[in-house]
Structure 1
Amino acid sequence: MTAPHPFSFDIGSLLSVARHAGQEILRVYHTTFEVRLKADLTPLTKADESSNAIILAGLSDLTPDIPVLSEETQHAPYEERMEWETMWLVDPLDGTKEFVKKNGEFAVCIGLIENGRPVLGVIYVPIYDALYYGGAQLGAFVSTGGGPLVPIEAARHRPQGPLVALKSRSHPDERLIDFMKPYSPIQWVTAGSAYKFCLLASADAHVYPRLNKTYEWDTAAGHALLEGAGAIMTDLEGKPFLYNKPNLENGPFIAKAPIFPDVFP
């Protein structure tokens, strides 16, 4: 059962769409699959395409009047998108590099944007059968193995030991060491895809700084999940991190548990 929410569609049905897409990804994962390269030289597999098709069909049924921007479909020009007050941002297989490496750190990401802000995020991690969702007006929840939804929240107390900071597995950035040096001691945890947002939302980590490139579909669902869990995500100046920009590439960001009232900035 899902919590009360302000949306016109059934969140349970949305969660089922995400899980269906993730289970299809997992099916392909356990086969011998072809890896192709897109124009930007990033990998593409049958799992990306199949998940995308499932999600697009599901969203069309649930919310036929809400436009969808997915990593794996042609993007509408900004002249059209700027009229979208509400939109879905989808990454049907976030972490394709991790999928290809077969390390399990990949996810399905579906985020709902209203007036540039993320209001709902769903992340499904197929290898763990872990389904997360949340938003600022919803709280944050996880269901594992198809079980009941359990509330989660970001860390509310400083650890006695080092702060746990997250960094990308496939996109390492040595600048992070200097960036976090004022807050030592730091225990770095490396993880792939939007799974990092799930770790932060579940209080398994305390901060996720990102200086190198991401795109809006990489962060929308995780950003909403974090807000539901009581965490914060801003640009490096503490300003709101917005979506449906003319350029869909994100700038640097910092995602942090609420134990950092005096940090960044």
Structure 2
Amino acid sequence: MTLSQFEIQDINQTVLLWLDEVRKRTLIAMQQHLDISIKHDARDLVTNVDRDNEQFLNAKIRSYDSEASIVSEEGFGDHQKNMQGNVWFVDPIDGTMNFVKEQADFAVMIALYIDNEPVLGWILDVVNNVVYHGGPQVGVFANQLRLEQPNNDALSDGIVLLSGARLLYGMFGYDKIAKAALGYRVIGAAGPSFLRVISGRAVGYSSKMMPWDFAAGQVLAKTLGLSISDIDGRPLDMLSSNIVLVATNRAHRDILMLHQS
């Protein structure tokens, strides 16, 4: 189903209002005591803010789009089996460790796919009060500023962002990729890393991600003409974890070659 320009704009403006409210709630919560729990290990945290934001956003989505399905991180979504119809992805706090320890480099992310096609994505940089949003029918914006496609730089011409744990153990050729790049960084969160790539501050980013980690970033990256796939060059599975690679077209080719060598 193809939405009209009016429908796209209505959805976009509605979600921007939700995100403005979520930002206010998150900033207030940051000044208060955080209820922090461990999910799988000491590096995998969840807070009351993650849960509260997800419940708030999921309720908004269900009220606005009652027939939709929701894939979200903290257990308040649906057990989705396919990508038919309207499927929303919600990451209520992306980069929870950064949120807890640094209060920087974290994001709130939402995406809408219809019949497995990317429609709209939103990445809220909470601290800097910037929402990166858009999709293939409208382009990509940082608040009201329209973004252009980043320069098609090679891996050797720019900074690459990588998963720290997998870089440390030389997995997926990350050690070779880091050495081939002009420089490398570890941010520790998907949303802020995607933003560096789509804004041209990095030539690529790769990490293991769940669907809510990459859904919004994929919408924005594809709209800007960037390449995104798994680390073997295949399309991403929208309902399972992937080793995601997003990069300029030249850096994407460079990284795939290094991974496969």
* TM-score when normalising by structure 2: 0.83
List per-residue Cα deviations over 1:233-254 (Å, max 9, x = no partner): 012232221313xxx2x22121
Match for residue 185 of structure 2 among 189, 197, 216: 189
Deviation at 1:38, TM superposition (A): 3.1
Identify which range, 48-57 or 68-77, moves more after superposition: 68-77
Residue aligning to 1:11? 12
Report SS of the residue matched to 1:109: strand
Give 1:39 shift. 5.7
8 A Cα contact 1:5 1:138, kept in partner: no
Tell me the residue number matched to 1:206. 203
Q: Which amino acid aligns with 2:35?
A: E
Higher relative contact order at CA 8 Å, sep ≥6: structure 1 or structure 2? 1
The 8 Å contact of residues 35 and 45 in structure 1, kept in 2 or not, is answered as yes
Q: 2:248 aligns with which of 235, 239, 257?
A: 257
* Equivalent residue number for residue 173 of structure 1: 167
Distance 1:162 1:66 in 2: 42
Contact 1:67 1:84 in 2 (8 A): no
Indicate if the aligned counterparts of 1:47 and 1:93 stay in contact, CA closer than 8 A: yes
Q: Hey, what's the Cα distance between the residues in 1 that align with 2:145 and 2:156?
A: 27
Task: Say which SS state the counterpart of residue 186 (structure 2) adopts.
Answer: strand
Alignment length (residue pairs)? 247
CA deviations on 1:220-241 (whole Å, 9 max, x unpaired) are 0111111122211012232221
Q: Secondary structure at the match of 2:134?
A: strand
Contact 1:140/1:225 (CA < 8 Å) preserved in 2?
A: yes
Aligned 8 A contact 2:91 2:110 in 1: yes
Q: Root-mean-square deviation (CA), in Å?
A: 2.7
Alpha-carbon offset, residue 114 of structure 1: 2.6
**Contact 1:18–1:123 (CA<8 Å) still a contact in 2?**
no
Q: Please point out which of 50, 53, 56 is paired with 1:51.
A: 53
- Structure 1 distance, partners of 2:56, 2:120, is 19
Give, in angstroms, the shift of residue 162 of structure 1. 3.7
Change over 3 Å in CA distance of 1:74–1:204 after alignment to 2: same
Q: Is the 8 A contact 1:235 1:253 kept in 2?
A: yes
Between Structure 1 and Structure 2, which shows a larger proportion of helix residues? Answer: 2
Q: How does 1:76-95 map to 2 (within 5 A)?
A: 76-77=78-79, 81-82=81-82, 84-95=84-95
Q: Give the conservation status (yes or no) of the 8 Å contact 2:68–2:85.
A: no
- Contact 1:22 / 1:107 at 8 angstroms: preserved in 2? no
Displacement of 1:152 in angstroms is 1.3
Residue 124 of structure 2 is matched in structure 1 by 124
SS where residue 173 of structure 1 aligns? helix
Q: Secondary structure at the match of 1:127?
A: coil
Mapped partners of 1:160, 1:190: distance in 2: 16
Q: Evaluate the alpha carbon distance shift between residue 262 and residue 32 of structure 1 in structure 2; reply closer, same or farther with a 3 A threshold.
A: closer
Percent identity between the aligned chains?
23
Question: Residue 9 of structure 1 contacts residue 62 of structure 1 at CA under 8 Å; is this kept in 2?
Answer: no
Task: Choose which of 204, 215, 220 in structure 1 pairs with 2:215.
Answer: 220
Q: Which amino acid aligns with 2:126?
A: P
Match of 1:97?
Answer: 97
Q: TM-score, normalised by structure 1?
A: 0.82
Name structure 2 gaps, 5 residues minimum. Answer: none
State the alpha-carbon separation in 2 of the partners of residues 40 and 243 from structure 1: 25
Unaligned runs of at least 5 residues, structure 1 = 144-148
